[in-house]
Amino acid sequence: MANADGTRRSFFDGTPFPEPSAAVGYAGNRIDRRSELRTPDSVPTALKDAAARFYLFRGDPPLIKAGQEPLFSLSEAEALGIDREHVVLLGWSAAGPRLAAMAPESVPIDEARMSAVNLRSLAVADELSAEHLGGLAQARSLLNWHGRHRFCSNCGAPTRMALGGYRRDCPGCAVEHFPRTDPVVIMLAIDGDRALLGRSARFQAKSYSCLAGFMEPGETIEDAVRRETHEESGVRIGRVRYFASQPWPFPASLMIGCHGEALSTEITRDETELEDCRWFARDEIRAMLAGTHPEGLVTPVRMAIAHHVIRAWAEG
């Protein structure tokens, strides 16, 4: 296809690049997973590479060395008690193999040299590179999945890690189990120059955000947006526009950010899910984003996809 001036048109004209998803927390992962090229020897081979480095976790939080360094050598990882049989091969970076493992809490750490830091706090502080935050998110999600899938859901037999952590095999019934990601829709309902925000009791004080909820089996993204918005607020949604996504390693979700066209405006709040839900004018939301709202109301921090979903509409 060609424009009137003779230049060639593309199907992707008007599509932003880099995409909005690139700006959210945990989205900077540059590890090449090579999941289709793995063999039973992938982990031993990676461990022989002097450039191999580990992301280590002590329970839920990752270990971070002084100077905000999240990578550990094999010798450092083994000194902290990792079990080679449970090492996950995340993939390969430009600098070498990247792996993940759990450091047992029974093994003491030198708190002057390293500490266990909440992964959400790391993203909020924005002191690690986007690449490391993305790698830590991948590592946490996979390690969490392995911890929760030690037994076969088909026959109950103990499963064993395969393909460097990208599969678990059941020796009892030969079923292969693969890591899962749970999709969550997170959406902003829009009525002209107003948008619908809610707050849960677990939110920080005076913080309002998009509505959100897990997708259900057999559901499209658009239908999930309509159902969740109506269940939580009573508002009906018509057209839905996808905006961006975010890997969310708590424990392993994909946040799917959308904007929805409100067909109704009366709010019937789900009092179990929300302690407040209301329409906000565009100017008021801009003040919340800027931190200048007269009542001190705020939106989620910049690393969260909700912040970007809200900002895209408020500034659009």
Looking at the fold, whether 56 and 131 belong to one and the same domain comes out as yes
Average pLDDT, rounded, for the chain: 96
The pLDDT value recorded for residue 236 is: 98
Looking at the fold, whether 139 and 193 belong to one and the same domain comes out as no
**Is 237 inside a domain boundary?**
yes
The pLDDT value recorded for residue 8 is: 84
Looking at the fold, whether 299 and 191 belong to one and the same domain comes out as yes
CA distances from 121 to 51, 127, 186, 198 (A): 28, 10, 21, 23
- The pLDDT tens digits for 160-181 are 999 999 999 999 999 999 999 9
Looking at the fold, whether 24 and 135 belong to one and the same domain comes out as yes
**Is 5 inside a domain boundary?**
no
The pLDDT value recorded for residue 7 is: 76
Q: 138 burial class (0-12, 13-18, 19+ CB within 10 angstroms)? A: buried
The pLDDT value recorded for residue 2 is: 63
Structure tokens at 242: 């996808």
Contact 300, 207 (CB under 8 A): yes
CA dist 288 and 269 (Å) reads 22
Contact 187, 259 (CB under 8 A): yes
> What 8-state DSSP symbol labels residue 61?
S
The pLDDT value recorded for residue 212 is: 98
Looking at the fold, whether 142 and 187 belong to one and the same domain comes out as no
**What are the backbone dihedrals phi and psi of residue 113, each rounded to the nearest 5 degrees, phi first?**
-110, -20
pLDDT band at 196 (very low <50, low <70, confident <90, very high): very high
CA dist 146 and 141 (Å) reads 9
Which of 101, 126, 147 is the last residue in one of the domains? Answer: 147
Q: What is the CATH number of the domain that holds 297?
A: 3.90.79.10
Average pLDDT over residues 217-242: 98
CA dist 119 and 250 (Å) reads 9
Q: Is the pLDDT assigned to residue 316 strictly greater than 90?
A: no
Q: What is the DSSP track for 16-44?
A: -SS-GGGGSTT-----B--GGG--TTHHH
Q: Which residues are registered as beta bridge partners of 64?
A: 115
Q: Is the pLDDT assigned to residue 1 strictly greater than 70?
A: no
Looking at the fold, whether 59 and 125 belong to one and the same domain comes out as yes
In a 3-state reduction of DSSP, which class is residue 105? Answer: coil
Specify the pTM: 0.94
Looking at the fold, whether 142 and 186 belong to one and the same domain comes out as no
Query: How many domains does the chain contain in total?
Result: 2
Q: Which residues are registered as beta bridge partners of 259?
A: 188, 241
Q: What is the CATH number of the domain that holds 70?
A: 3.90.79
Structure tokens at 201: 């009791």
**What are the backbone dihedrals phi and psi of residue 130, each rounded to the nearest 5 degrees, phi first?**
-60, -35
Beta pairing, strands 182-191 & 253-262: parallel
**Is 26 inside a domain boundary?**
yes
CA dist 105 and 67 (Å) reads 22
The pLDDT value recorded for residue 145 is: 97
Domain with 289, as residue range(s), is 182-314
The pLDDT value recorded for residue 307 is: 98
CA distances from 65 to 54, 57, 165 (A): 12, 12, 25
Q: Is the pLDDT assigned to residue 282 strictly greater than 80?
A: yes
Looking at the fold, whether 39 and 121 belong to one and the same domain comes out as yes
pLDDT band at 9 (very low <50, low <70, confident <90, very high): confident
Structure tokens at 271: 């009092």
Average pLDDT over residues 14-30: 96
- The pLDDT tens digits for 70-92 are 999 999 999 999 999 999 999 99
- The pLDDT tens digits for 106-136 are 999 999 999 999 999 999 999 999 999 999 9
